[in-house]
Structure 1
């Protein structure tokens, strides 16, 4: 009887909060924090009928999770969404994540920026058209309106059955400052009817959002040419900042030994780069100044397989190739491979149009529904519209000159990674060269191969390919003193510190394979036999019952083993040996052809790095590099740099917004362009003020295509310039303000060279 009454009460409560179009989850009118709410590194309280959440800074995650005793049942709704009223009483915007977990397994993450002093309703689609379907964009335009501000997909687009919702979670990641948000009226509601054509006609002839207007949008070729002319006039009278040396160093600061090339040195307790003339140098730059990532897939392909041929000796990955139009013969085999993508464009040039030269072909894509196909660069087309094309290549040549003029005018001291090799001999702006080691060598998996599996550095083919790659880089650099250093590879999935299995995934994978098929496993066998005179001693240390060395050599599955202290110690040793082999091979290959240029590493990440990896890297890298997307450099998160104690550079970071026509802001969200500029400046200030950092590079120079870059669908507002090559004025202003005091603020207390 008690159970029946309890169930009846629950039913009454549900009916009281449910409505025709959905039901409320939490209104907080009782004045108490719900029992289902659990905080992680956050403080919860209910004030004035709303939930106040104080988020803690400089931690992995800070937030609140709601987990009801029974999952919320949504089966009776049609298309529906989660929403909450969120207020931000603070002076700065707050970027938060929301994860919804299905009772049937799986979860989806979205994110949104809450403006400073703002209050509104924010929604998360749970059931509706297109959810979980990859159209070649990281996120799509909203399919309906009128429900508030839409949260943006974070990570990949995953399908999940949200007919029963197990939990919802709101959190921040590694914030620099504490923030407070107020949550109220969290509910699940039926969605209004959507626009059946929401995925068609997205882009106008300039590559801009076609269905909305916004500040800075170009409406005609005449307007575009006038904007370009106005900027050229301003750049013509611009001069470098007065405190800069020939190479962009601090000529008013202390003078150190001049070697004719860039190098690193610790001065006054701070790491610094030193320019070829001996002046202190801080690398503030912009990465990805090239055309390779400006193209988007058109939905057209060709039946002639010759267009997909790849030379096995090529050293340039597909996503780093420029725009090369297919031949007329190949174009005759044209067909529509994706009707959906082809209908996204209001305009694409006929093959007889002069702008058709900016069609290219992508032989493979990392992500997306179209694995290969025709691409088009609206950015290149807009350059020709801006500057004309009185002779072949004029517009791109003019673009290179204007780009360098801009960088110097804005106060940047260098370019970042992935600058077009055509800039390598400009002799006006320092830069970093780049190489990728690709080829048919053996690989090893860490268990999380985001971009690709790790190369097996013990495979002789890897060493051959490393030498071949760096020889090509050397032929492009030609020993130029303007080249600060060389990045090789990028964001490799070494492992994660989240668990021992993730930390030592490379070792576990290699040990599971036969030594005859895995050079790393063969090397591990040598190291283990040197460590243990007998198999019995290894069994004792590992708590295993291996019957012979041959059993281990053939491969053993230890993923589910109970890791003993001895086993973990050996895993650590093998992991560091693996990484050491990689970094030593790359270092030696670079030193053999460019002995005067610094090795910048492979740009490690927080999600794909272990202690063993940075310990190996610091032995061989002249400068450590990390890609870090966050609010800035927090002292706790980056405390490990004290132990690393090497000059360090941030290889990538960015912030984006949706007020410039984009459906996805980027990896870190800002409220608008003004807020984006504020966030750029605060990030750079946190880097500048850390004694281990010698620079940071924004990613990237040009906005992504709105319909997604061909490589993986990134459609982010992350450029310093738009697809029309028009700079964002708020970012430019922030850059000039920061750079005019950069050196005095960073090194003003360093009065003399040591």
Structure 2
């Protein structure tokens, strides 16, 4: 027992931020009540912090456990972080259901933490009556001899939350399931070890559910909508034949090609590229076609990418761990064997390349009674558009398969990535990939090649709302919960670029030129920065800055602006050259990876700003910059999920159930609709991730509007219908 609050001297061991707490005693039992002031604080938290760091190095297999009661009628999503003395963090998250009480545990030592499975969150290896807290990111094996704190925090929550905690303690598992990763996936790609609502038990059931749904799908937009899903009953503005933006009565809107007000509420990632999972098999590399430096599509955006038939005889087990997860995989010469694919590289996982299988695509072939891709893919597209119209959505989001582009039934966004053999830079925290050196002429060449390819796919089609290019780049990391600037985190791009040799780095050469024009002499720069650079030539060779005064921070800010403006200028020019009639939608900033300088640079060149924002709702203490920028903006990604679907991971935001997902959907969308700068919000994604993780990075989230068997989640669909049926009236009249 660490803290049971029974006459215990806490001595600041329970630290609150943006919250208030008090001991309460009921029936002789003392517990700790906490109210989180999330309305006035972006971050609210409770932290367990001992006088001396905990030494749990001799505990064996153990977890930190806590009794939590949620007395309110709304679920609570917590981020949970264990931090050691060196600052390494072990990060998880959980959902506390509304009006509930239970025990939740944070596993800190056990066999699962030593196993790389290629799944974002594994099935539970512990046999326990308590609820495991889901893995997110960080270091799985922190220094258990020096555990400095364990924190439960809320971020960006737009409503007050309350909990009652008790009995913070160390627990051991009742037992360990040695086969927790064996036989995990059934023939439909579902969790073979759990029962849940909506689980498909037979092919006949899958077909029957599909045929029943088909009888209730519509083929045209909702009443009161225009051809393009604009608001036909609202104000009529100038029609240009293409989508555009306009501010009306102080509120930003998109405008459809016919001149009607348009708000883009849709679902992103409607494609097969992310539906496959690594099987644990591979082939002789001589048969695998390697990437061409002129490729325009990243590995994770390519379709299944099946190996040639000549490779099949060389198939071998490359990971017993992965191969044993599947109860069933077809032979290549079976009809369902056509749903195999291949990944030449992965972002993270148990193995760095290998065979994949798409249970989702196989289920489409099953339900539509045809293994001919022309048949089942056409029926998939038709059903998907019919669903969007029936559910009241107005457009797709990003990453819709280009085969939808010329259907002329439903608005969409085109997309592309700038990849190629250009020089790169680093922000010091490059999550997905290194940043491009945007002053390298090859970057502009590749931007033009990307835009040209998008233009070929779009064909100047008026159903294309706009174009997204790139995604979630690591521009820099602000801390919205603090007024203090972490200079190294915010200005990592210029700081790291300054260390480079200008003769090898186009960006560094530009930076030196900018500084020379400002200061003239190296002596003036040294005086301003309080440094001792011998000459401009020495600065050009590379300089490491670790101490930051106000003048240096001001210059770093300017250099970051110079970099960001070049990026957005080059990309915009490329898009407008090949798609002059379509809006440039920006690069979809992640809330963890943007700065004021980069936002302002994007605002100069993007027609619409785009942000990916995974939180419970829209919180004003984060979105303060919208008014200053005064630009039409879309939420490019958001979602929630729950593990009652049989999935192993709820997603980036946890709900307590499918019904709670629906409740959260309405709350989030209401927050978007009532703010004058948002002109759209795109849910990520259409279907759940594979149970054993998508091939590229292991995401295995219950964040789909449909399951891996392509069956809609009824509560979420009904919530979307409710929002979408009155979407325009609510937004216009609010």
- For the superposition of Structure 1 and Structure 2, which TM-score range results when normalised by the shorter chain? over 0.9
Q: Secondary structure at the match of 2:468?
A: strand
Q: How big is each residue's C-alpha offset from its partner over 1:281-305, in whole Å with a ceiling of 9 and x where there is no partner?
A: 0000000000000000000011133
User: How far apart are the structure 2 equivalents of 1:608 and 1:76?
Assistant: 38
Deviation at 1:147, TM superposition (A): 3.4
| Residue 105 to residue 687, structure 1, CA distance change in 2 (3 Å) | closer
- Which position in structure 2 is the counterpart of 1:367? 348
Residues 132 and 157, structure 1, Cα contact 8 Å, conserved in 2: no
- Which position in structure 2 is the counterpart of 1:550? 537
Alignment of 1:90-239 (within 5 A): 90-103=72-85, 106-156=88-138, 158-235=140-217, 239=220
Q: How big is each residue's C-alpha offset from its partner over 1:399-419, in whole Å with a ceiling of 9 and x where there is no partner?
A: 000000000100000000000
Residues 3 and 167, structure 2, Cα contact 8 Å, conserved in 1: yes
TM-score normalised to structure 1 length? 0.94
Deviation at 1:132, TM superposition (A): 4.7
- Which position in structure 1 is the counterpart of 2:523? 536
- Which position in structure 1 is the counterpart of 2:69? 87
Alignment of 1:5-16 (within 5 A): none
- Which position in structure 2 is the counterpart of 1:21? none
1:667 aligns with 2:652: yes
- Which position in structure 2 is the counterpart of 1:42? 19
Residues 41 and 55, structure 1, Cα contact 8 Å, conserved in 2: yes
Q: Secondary structure at the match of 1:341?
A: helix
Moved over 6 A (4+): none
- Which position in structure 2 is the counterpart of 1:688? 673
Deviation at 1:203, TM superposition (A): 0.3
Deviation at 1:111, TM superposition (A): 1.0
Deviation at 1:35, TM superposition (A): 2.6
Alignment of 1:425-440 (within 5 A): 425-440=406-421
Alignment of 1:44-63 (within 5 A): 44-48=21-25, 49-58=30-39, 59-63=41-45
1:74 aligns with 2:59: no
User: How far apart are the structure 2 equivalents of 1:459 and 1:345?
Assistant: 46
Q: Secondary structure at the match of 2:78?
A: strand
Residues 653 and 699, structure 1, Cα contact 8 Å, conserved in 2: yes
Length, aligned pairs only? 723
Residues 68 and 104, structure 2, Cα contact 8 Å, conserved in 1: yes
Alignment of 1:464-613 (within 5 A): 464-498=445-479, 499-558=486-545, 560-561=546-547, 563-613=548-598
**698, 707, 715: which one pairs with 2:692?**
707
Alignment of 1:730-741 (within 5 A): 730-741=715-726
User: How far apart are the structure 1 equivalents of 2:655 and 2:114?
Assistant: 24
User: How far apart are the structure 1 equivalents of 2:140 and 2:177?
Assistant: 22
Q: Secondary structure at the match of 1:613?
A: helix
Q: How big is each residue's C-alpha offset from its partner over 1:36-86, in whole Å with a ceiling of 9 and x where there is no partner?
A: 111111111111211111112153321111211123333443311111110
1:30 aligns with 2:11: no
Q: How big is each residue's C-alpha offset from its partner over 1:576-612, in whole Å with a ceiling of 9 and x where there is no partner?
A: 0100000000000010011010000000122110111
Residues 641 and 692, structure 1, Cα contact 8 Å, conserved in 2: yes
| Residue 75 to residue 612, structure 1, CA distance change in 2 (3 Å) | closer
| Residue 463 to residue 145, structure 1, CA distance change in 2 (3 Å) | same
- Which position in structure 2 is the counterpart of 1:10? none
527-536 or 619-628: bigger deviation: 527-536
- Which position in structure 1 is the counterpart of 2:375? 394
Tell me, which stretches of 5 or more residues in structure 1 are unaligned?
Answer: 1-23, 750-754
Deviation at 1:509, TM superposition (A): 0.9
Residues 156 and 615, structure 2, Cα contact 8 Å, conserved in 1: yes
Residues 56 and 175, structure 1, Cα contact 8 Å, conserved in 2: no
Q: Secondary structure at the match of 2:686?
A: coil
RMSD: 1.4
User: How far apart are the structure 2 equivalents of 1:412 and 1:330?
Assistant: 43
Residues 614 and 652, structure 2, Cα contact 8 Å, conserved in 1: yes
Deviation at 1:174, TM superposition (A): 1.1
User: How far apart are the structure 2 equivalents of 1:29 and 1:649?
Assistant: 50
User: How far apart are the structure 1 equivalents of 2:139 and 2:326?
Assistant: 22
Alignment of 1:327-338 (within 5 A): 327-338=308-319
User: How far apart are the structure 2 equivalents of 1:402 and 1:135?
Assistant: 34
Deviation at 1:643, TM superposition (A): 0.5
Alignment of 1:398-417 (within 5 A): 398-417=379-398
Deviation at 1:532, TM superposition (A): 1.2
- Which position in structure 2 is the counterpart of 1:626? 611
Q: Secondary structure at the match of 1:735?
A: helix
1:284 aligns with 2:245: no
Residues 388 and 394, structure 1, Cα contact 8 Å, conserved in 2: no
Q: Secondary structure at the match of 1:566?
A: helix
User: How far apart are the structure 1 equivalents of 2:593 and 2:186?
Assistant: 38
Q: Secondary structure at the match of 1:81?
A: strand
Q: How big is each residue's C-alpha offset from its partner over 1:594-632, in whole Å with a ceiling of 9 and x where there is no partner?
A: 101000000012211011101100000000000000011
Deviation at 1:166, TM superposition (A): 2.6
Q: Secondary structure at the match of 2:427?
A: coil
Q: Secondary structure at the match of 2:2?
A: strand
Residues 134 and 157, structure 1, Cα contact 8 Å, conserved in 2: no
User: How far apart are the structure 2 equivalents of 1:638 and 1:666?
Assistant: 23
